[in-house]
Every structure is written in structure tokens, then in C-alpha cells.
A and B are shown apart, each in its own frame.
Chain A
């Protein structure tokens, strides 16, 4: 069996008494796109810097392509990196920036020129080759940084919040481009982001981090559909949640009402139950709850309804044309499919 291209084993990083990383184990397959997702301060950037060799971990080992790299300085590793700030050299043109690493005997002038042309074409900046970073747009700067990172065909591409500084439209556009480019080049990629939508749309797998630990690794689908704990359920994707207590075959909410759910927790355990808007059904089925419509948000392809279902703050999504004559204040019936209700013990 082939071992992962990048292996992170038991990595920890302490700053004084504070642990920024605790016992992190991740394997990234060759050609895979992994996103480190988490709120700020969760340790994702520290982990990326450890992979890059910019920050040496206190414990644990990192292997790249079967080689132990934990203590290697960045210059002896094989990666390209794009920082949140891009760190473009302001005194160099786009072409010089991109070609910065193309030097030494392996890169005779002709080869450099050819590679530059290729890279600039790849990111669509052939026209801007002679410009300085200050003279091009933010999106173009981002692509220069990307081209520079890819210039000498690194085995590993590291991206530190590469899209966070861009406006929404450019960001969406570049997200797609980034994904296509990564697929095309097949470069193993680790990206740090706090934007779960970005992570879900880009990554082959997502590693969700919290308080220095990896709390779940899986495909976007797995992470979204089967969050490992309450944190992931709350952080990834949109959901409504409410407090309850575990009961046989479901949970009991504050009003004393029993709601069926799939859970094996001992009876009486304080829990938090999550349900995603698209799983809330507007239907009068046995066991459905009465709900008052308290708000309507029109989102184009869908409408999101804010509901107060017997004290539970729920959200539901329906097609705008199904809205009919519904208005705030209307009374509805909502059903919560037991297999879609995600129940986690509070202390877990």
C-alpha cells in the first residue's frame, strides 16, 4: 500500500505554556487538495508553517515523499507557498517575481524564458509581465504569487488564506481557477482557510481544526453530512441547533416534548441537536411541530425561512415559487427527519 505523500505524525507546538498544536496526525495523498479549516487561532497557520519549515514543531515528525523533513530549513524542502499577503517583491516586475526561483545551472536563460511564458500563460498574466505589483489588481497579484510558488514545479503547494483579501466576485472566480489549475497540475496542495464554503468547494478532503487539534478529517461531503462533534456541526455548513436531553429513541427538549432522533447516548445526557435548513421539512406528518414563521430571507434560488417551532429556533429552505402566499406570522407544521438530526453530547 502506498503511504501518503505528506505525513504529519503526532505534531505538537508549544509557545511557552500555550499549546498551539496538539498531537496532529494527517496524511495527504499525492495530488490531493487538503484544506485546513478552522476559526482564527485554531492552529491551522502554525501547522502550515511547520509543514513549510518556517516554524519547527516541539514534538512529532513530518515526512514528505517518504523523507523526514521536520527539522529541515525551508530552503531544503520542496514546496511553493502563497501567503495571505502574497509577499510579492514590490521592486520586481511580475515576470521577475515569477522567475525569482528559476536560477542555477538547471535554469539556463532559454529555459527560464520558456518556463516564464508558460507560467504567465497558465495564470493569464502574459500581458502584465512587465508591470510592478503595485500596478496590477489584487486578483492579478494573487495569481502572480501562485505562479511564483509553482515556478520550479514543487511537490507541494502551500496556500495560506490565499483568497481572503479579495472581493467576493474575484474570490469566487479565482476559487474555480485555483481548483482547475490544481487538478491540471496534480500538485499536492495544503490550503489554510477559515472560510468553510471555500474549503468545501475546493478541497478533496477537509481537516477541521479547533484549539490546536484536528477534530475531523474527511471529504467535504463527510464533514458536512456526518460532523464528528458539535463544533464541526456548528462550524461547517449552516444549521440550527437547540439544547436537549438524550432520551430513548430521540431527545427531549425543554418543553418536555420528545423528538425522535438516531442517538445511542445514555438517557438524560445533556446534548445539543443540530439540523440543517435543507433537512427541515415543511410537512404535517405524525410527530411534526407547530412553527411560526418569523422571517423570510430571499436568496435567489431558495428562500430561507426563520421559524419558531415550539421554542426551537429552526431554519428551513424552500423554492421561492413554493412560497405562495406565506407571510411572516403564518403558522406551519415542520417535520424533523430523525436520521438528519445530529445529536452530540454537550461535553463531547
Chain B
């Protein structure tokens, strides 16, 4: 007979229930309310499939869908090998300056998406510095630009997931393979790849979904090349037709649903991870591997750096390309935006809180799912809710938040218009990648840690705090910085949610760009980049402190 007291498994179930509630309030309910618009008229009356018929009735529909599909597929096909090579170089080689490379790898998500788009225009636009590199008659506006920009934009996501997946390896597997006279290529194929399979699937799902749902890039650099994400923009912002916006948003959810099943499938494939007795793999120097990797990583880093370099330069000149005189006037934000530097403070508060609240939440929920042993429908719901945000375009999420939190009957309505709703929105919006990072890290832990703790009558939470958290600290730091950085740079959802005193700097960037103050927009983007890059450097410093002792240095 189980004793009628609160034991570990009841507690775990309660915790997961709380997480489910939070995800329901932060994602499912708002999104449900928004997507229900697809079946309603403007006054909320049910109209069935009228909007779907109208949308599918248009012959122009298939084109955006097809465009979205193939540009995203090409993006994924390009990014994945690049990110894998990069992550491999970071984790399985003895490249010099790996810490620096790791920081550079994140550049595209360190700044608002406008920054790479702006740089690409400066570099390859019709007046671009490197325009000569484009084929005759070619243009950066259109699918080429979309694919290039999305490769840059999705690269850090993929590289981050793959670095975690490749981050821990059992040295004995490599020794075993070597003693079996397996060549380097065979070891790679039979040891390295299978161990990273889950990471590879996650990374492809993430890259593909991000590419499908992002509207910022096609909006700025896509010209008139129609994709599904700009269809949402057109319906929601252009025409305030939320019903049609919801119809397209539902179509955009399809890749995520597919991704969810792909993730479950990969989970089944995942070979046993690293065990407690594994010997952590420390790569030896090997020129035949390290030199080509160095060249590849340098090339990638160079591309990313030139993007930032271009933007920084752009923020320091008077008016590109007609007045190239240098100036710092563009950093005097108060002359371009009512809130001046103040919006940066809002962003810092918002991003800091997002990391502070989001990191424990994400890690704890991932832990509950992977190790809580909770059965029933609850984990299934939480899993879906954790993967779904990736597929929800930011502006759909932003609108959904208005509909839900501004509803007069919502007891949570008091957070509307405050920093709190921005924080909640950011945590949910960037939940998926953070979640996948946590899951990947947790899956690499020995499955018996908790059992050992329990046998020693050590409470579960203590083993969690003393063993699981310390071992996962690098991944936890990754998650915190990821959330911070994205919250600093995000625009699409928060643009609907900020109040009179809570306008984030990233929104100010867009406003300045719209007002024609491109240089000051670039300047503000560069300041954001400086802040996020500092956060990343702090993390690197912290990781350095963490390594040593039992943890191998990266």
C-alpha cells in the first residue's frame, strides 16, 4: 500500500501539471483563441470553412506554399552540414580559439534580424560593395537573398543544438573503434554520427521550421517573392484580417506537427547516451582533421564577422552610399527616438527576466519530461506545447496574446501592458530551442542517477540540484544566454505587446529603419549586439571557470 503522503512521484506529477498549466496559459489558450479566428467572422460568429475555401480558392496560394517549402528545404540542406562541421570543429577537434569561434557562431542571433538583412543589402544590394560577386543580372532580392539570409539566421540555432549533441562523447567508444582498426571515416560514420542522430534531427526540424515561419527576412530582402510567412504579415498587418491570418498560421503549424513526430522518431533511434562511468572524450591533435576543419570554421566565422563588421561600419557613416564620412551622431538615439537610450533599459530588464524565469522553467520541465516517469496524457501535452512555439510566427503569437490577456474575463489580464507579459511572451516564443537543448543535455545523463539517489534515501530534488544541475550547467548557461539574447533581439511578437513605457530597443530599431534612419537603426542594432555579445562572453568566462576538475575543457 502506498502511504497517503506526498511522495516524489506525486510531487513530480504536480510539477508537470503546473508546467502544463503555464504552457496552457502562455501558449495553448492564446493560440487556440487566435486560431479559432480561422473559423469565425470579425464578430466571432462561427462561419465554418469559409476562410479556408477563400484562401485555397485563390490560385496564388500554392505558389507561396511551394516557395516556402523549397527555400526552407534548401536552407536546411545548406545549413545542416555547415553547422555540423562547425559544431564538430568546436567539440571534436583541437582547433585553436574554439571559445572565440563559439562566440562568433552566435552572431546572427545576437542582433535583431534587421542587422544581417541590412548588411546583406550593403554587401550585395544593387549598390552593394560585393555586388560583382553576384552572377550577371542576379539580385539579392528574391529567393537567393531569402536563402542566404535564412542560412545566416538559422545557423546559430543548428550549431548550438549540434554542439550540445556532440559535446559529450564516450572516449572508450572511440578507443574500441580504433582497436578494431576502424579508419577515421568509419569511426565518424559508425560512432560519431549515430550518437548525434537525435541532435541532427532536432537541428533540421528547428532550421526548417524557423525558415518557414520567419517573415522578417522575406519582408526585408525577399522582394516580392511570395512565401507563407509574408502572407500572414499581409493579412494581419496589411489588412487586419485576423481570420485569414489565422488560416495561414494553421498551415504554418504543419511543419511543426511533422517536426514533433520526427523528434519522437529520433528519440526512439537515440542510442544509449553517455553513462556515469564513461570516460569523456578528449580529442587528440590530428592535422589531417584539424586543418581542414580550421579552414572551414574560419570561412564560416569570416562570413559572420563580415556581416557584423558591415553593420558596424554602416552605423558609423553619415549616409550610405552617398556620404561615407564617419560620425558617431547615429548613436545619439534621443534625436531619433522619443525613448532614446531608455528602450535599451527596457530590453535589458525584459531579457534579463526572460533568462531568469525561463531558464529554470525550461530545464525543470525538460527534466520532468525526460526523467519524471510521469505517465498519462500530461507529458504528451507538454511535449507538444514545448515544440509548438517554434512554428508559431511571432506576430501570430503577439496577436494571440492580445486576444487572450486583454479578454475582460481573463483573471490574468492584469499583466497586460506590463513587462511581465513581454517576459512571458519571450519565454514561450523561444521555448522550443531552449527545450531541445535541455532535452539533449538531459538525455546524455546516466539514467540511473535518481535511482542511486533514491536508494540512498536522498530526496529527488537534492539529487536534481546536486547532480543533474551541476552536470548540465553548460547547457543551462546556454539556455539562459539563448533566451536573453533572443529577448534582446526580438521584434515580431513584442511589437503588439509593449506599453507606453515598455518599448524594447529591438522595436526602436525597426521604427528607426522605417523612418529612414537606417544608420541609427544599425547603431541601435549594434548596441544590442554589444550587450548580447557581452552576455555571451560572460558565459564563456563562466564556462572556463566551470571546466577543469571533472569537466573537460572545451
Q: Which residues of A contact B (CB under 8 A)?
A: 52-54, 68, 71-77, 79-81, 83, 85-92, 100-101, 103, 132-135, 138, 141, 148-149, 151-152, 154, 158, 165
Chain A interface: which of B79-87, B312-320, B445-453?
B445-453
A134 in contact with B280 (CB, 8 Å): yes
User: What CA separation (Å) do A13 and B447 show in the bound complex?
Assistant: 21
Let me know if A132 and B550 touch, CB within 8 A.
yes
Which residues of B in the span 454-482 have a Cβ within 8 Å of any Cβ on A? 454-460, 466-467, 470-471
Q: Is the CB of A151 within 8 A of B456?
A: yes
Closest to B277 in A: A86
| Residues of the A chain whose Cβ atoms lie less than 8 Å from the Cβ of B470 | 91
In the complex the two chains form, is B458's CB within 8 Å of A100's CB?
yes
Pick from A81, A101, A132, A141: contact of B451, CB below 8 A.
A81
> Would B455 and A132 count as touching, CB distance under 8 A?
no
Q: Is the CB of A133 within 8 A of B8?
A: no
Is B277 touching A91 in the complex (CB atoms < 8 A)?
no
A-B contact pairs, 19 of them (CB 8 A): A52-B451, A52-B455, A54-B454, A72-B2, A73-B454, A74-B455, A75-B7, A76-B457, A81-B451, A85-B275, A85-B277, A85-B448, A87-B451, A87-B452, A89-B466, A90-B276, A101-B455, A134-B280, A151-B456
* Shortest distance between the CB of A288 and any CB in chain B (Å): 47
Q: How far apart sit A90 and B453, CA to CA, in the bound complex (Å)?
A: 14
Given A68-B1, A71-B2, A85-B276, A79–B446 Cβ distance below 8 Å? no
* Interface check B328, CB cutoff 8 A: no
Is B376 an interface residue when CB atoms closer than 8 A count as contact? no
Nearest residue (CB) in A for B280 is A134
Whether B455 and A91, one on each chain, are in contact in the complex, defined by CB atoms closer than 8 angstroms, is no
Q: Which of the four size classes fits the interface of chain B?
A: 20 to 34
Contact of A85 among B2, B446, B549 (CB under 8 A): B446
Q: Given known contacts A52-B451, A91-B467, is B456 in contact with A165 (CB within 8 Å)?
A: no
Which chain A residues border B279 with CB–CB below 8 Å? Answer: 134
Q: Taking the complex as formed, is B53 at the interface, i.e. its CB lies under 8 A from any CB of chain A?
A: no
Alpha-carbon distance between A154 and B2 when the two chains are bound, in angstroms: 21
Q: Does the CB pair B458–A81 fall under 8 Å?
A: no
Which residues in A have their C-beta under 8 angstroms from that of B457?
Answer: 75-76, 101, 152
* Also in contact, A138 and B7, with CB within 8 A (given A101-B457, A148-B456): no
Asked if A90 and B8 sit within 8 Å, CB to CB, the answer is: no
How many Å from the CB of A13 to the closest CB on chain B?
15
Contact of B276 among A80, A86, A103 (CB under 8 A): A86
Question: Which residues of chain A are near B467, meaning CB under 8 Å?
Answer: 89, 91-92
Nearest opposing residue in chain B for A81, CB measure: B455
**A68 CB → nearest B CB, Å:** 7
- Residues of B near A90 (CB, < 8 A) are 276, 280, 471, 550
Report the bound CA distance from A161 to B457 in whole Å.
22
Chain A residue with minimal CB distance to B472?
A: A91
Residues of A within 8 A of B453 (CB): 100
**Are A141 and B277 also in contact (CB < 8 A) when A68-B1, A132-B549 are?**
yes
Task: Given A68-B1, A91-B551, decide whether A75 and B275 contact each other with a Cβ distance below 8 A.
Answer: no
Contacts of B451 in A (CB 8 A): 52, 54, 74, 81, 83, 87
Q: A92-B467, A101-B458 are in contact. List 15 more A-B contacts (CB 8 A).
A: A54-B454, A68-B1, A75-B460, A83-B448, A87-B276, A87-B446, A87-B449, A89-B467, A90-B280, A90-B471, A91-B471, A92-B466, A100-B458, A101-B456, A103-B458
Nearest chain-A residue to B10 (Cβ)? A73
Task: Give every chain B residue within 8 A of A151 (Cβ-Cβ).
Answer: 456
A135 to B460, alpha carbons, bound, how many Å? 27
Q: In this assembly, does B9 line the interface, its C-beta being within 8 Å of a C-beta of chain A? A: yes
Q: Chain A residue with minimal CB distance to B459?
A: A75
**Nearest chain-A residue to B373 (Cβ)?**
A54
Contacts of B448 in A (CB 8 A): 83, 85, 87
Evaluate contact between A73 and B7: CB separation under 8 angstroms: yes
**CB <8 Å contact, A88 and B2:** no
Q: Given contacts A85-B275, A89-B276, A89-B467, is CB(A134)–CB(B452) below 8 Å? A: no
Q: Are B471 and A149 in contact (CB under 8 A)?
A: no
Closest to B458 in A: A101
Residues of A within 8 A of B9 (CB): 73
Closest A-B pairs by Cβ, 5 of them: A101-B456, A74-B454, A132-B550, A87-B448, A85-B275
Q: Report A-chain residues with C-beta under 8 Å of the C-beta of B466.
A: 89, 92, 100
Interface string of B241-277 (1 = CB under 8 A from A): 0000000000000000000000000000000000111
Q: How far is the CA of A133 from the CA of B453 in the complex (A)?
A: 17
**With A71-B2, A85-B277, A132-B550 as contacts: A80 and B455 at CB distance below 8 Å:** yes
What 0/1 readout, one digit per residue, does chain B (6-28) give for beta carbons within 8 Å of chain A?
Answer: 01110000000000000000000
Q: Whose C-beta in chain A lies nearest to the C-beta of B282?
A: A134
Name the residue of chain B whose CB is nearest to the CB of A151: B456
Interface hub of B1, B446, B451, B452 (most chain A Cβ within 10 A): B452
CA A45 to CA B449, docked complex, whole Å = 17
Q: Which residues of A contact B7 (CB under 8 A)?
A: 73, 75-76
Report the separation of the CA atoms of residues A86 and B277 in the bound assembly, to the nearest whole angstrom.
6
* Residues of chain B within 8 A of A77, CB atoms compared: 455
Nearest CB of B to A115, in Å: 13
Expressed in whole angstroms, the minimum distance between the Cβ of A235 and any Cβ of chain B is 26
Q: Closest chain B residue to A149 by CB distance?
A: B455
Q: Are B455 and A88 in contact (CB under 8 A)?
A: no
State in angstroms the CA–CA spacing of A79 and B456 once bound together: 8
Contact between B446 and A152, CB atoms less than 8 A apart? no
A163 to chain B, nearest CB (A): 13
* Contacting pair A81 B1 (CB below 8 A): no
A75's contact among B277, B449, B454, B471, by CB below 8 Å, is which? Answer: B454
- State A79–B275 Cα separation when bound (angstroms): 22
Bound complex: CA A31 to CA B271 (Å): 38
Query: CB distance B456 to A73 under 8 Å?
Result: no
What is the CB-to-nearest-CB distance from B477 to chain A, in angstroms, rounded to a whole number?
A: 15
Closest Cβ of chain A to B307, distance in Å, is 38
CA separation between A135 and B467, bound complex, in Å? 18
Q: Please give me the residue from chain B that is nearest to A157 by CB atom.
A: B455
- A133 is contacted by which of B3, B454, B550 (Cβ under 8 Å)? B550
In the complex, A53 Cα to B9 Cα: how many Å? 12
When chains A and B are docked, how far (Å) is the Cα of A83 from the Cα of B455? 11
Instruction: Please determine whether B452 and A81 come into contact, CB atoms closer than 8 angstroms.
Output: yes
A101→B452 CA distance, assembly (Å)? 9
- Rounded to whole Å, the gap between the CB of A98 and the closest CB of chain B is 10
- Report the separation of the CA atoms of residues A81 and B449 in the bound assembly, to the nearest whole angstrom: 11
Nearest chain B CB to A252 CB, angstrom units: 48
With a cutoff of 8 Å between Cβ atoms, the chain A residues found around residue B456 in the complex are 80, 100-101, 148, 151-152
Rounded to whole Å, the gap between the CB of A12 and the closest CB of chain B is 18
In the assembled complex, how far is the CB of residue B470 from the closest CB belonging to chain A, in whole angstroms?
Answer: 4
| Docked pose: A38 CA to B77 CA in angstroms | 48
Task: Check if A83 sits within 8 Å of B458, measured CB to CB.
Answer: no
In the complex, chain B residues whose CB is within 8 Å of the CB of A87: 275-277, 446-449, 451-452
The CA of A138 and the CA of B448, in the complex, are separated in Å by 18
Residues of B contacting A79 in the complex (Cβ-Cβ under 8 angstroms): 455
A165 touching B277, Cβ below 8 Å = yes
Contact A148:B471 (CB < 8 A) given known A75-B459, A87-B276, A133-B276: no
Contacts of A54 in B (CB 8 A): 451, 454
Chain B minimum-CB-distance residue to A83: B448
Q: How far is the CA of A253 from the CA of B351 in the complex (A)?
A: 83
Closest to A152 in B: B456
Q: How far, in whole Å, are A75 and B456 apart by their CA atoms in the complex?
A: 7
Neighbouring B residues of A91 by C-beta, 8 Å: 467, 470-471, 550-551
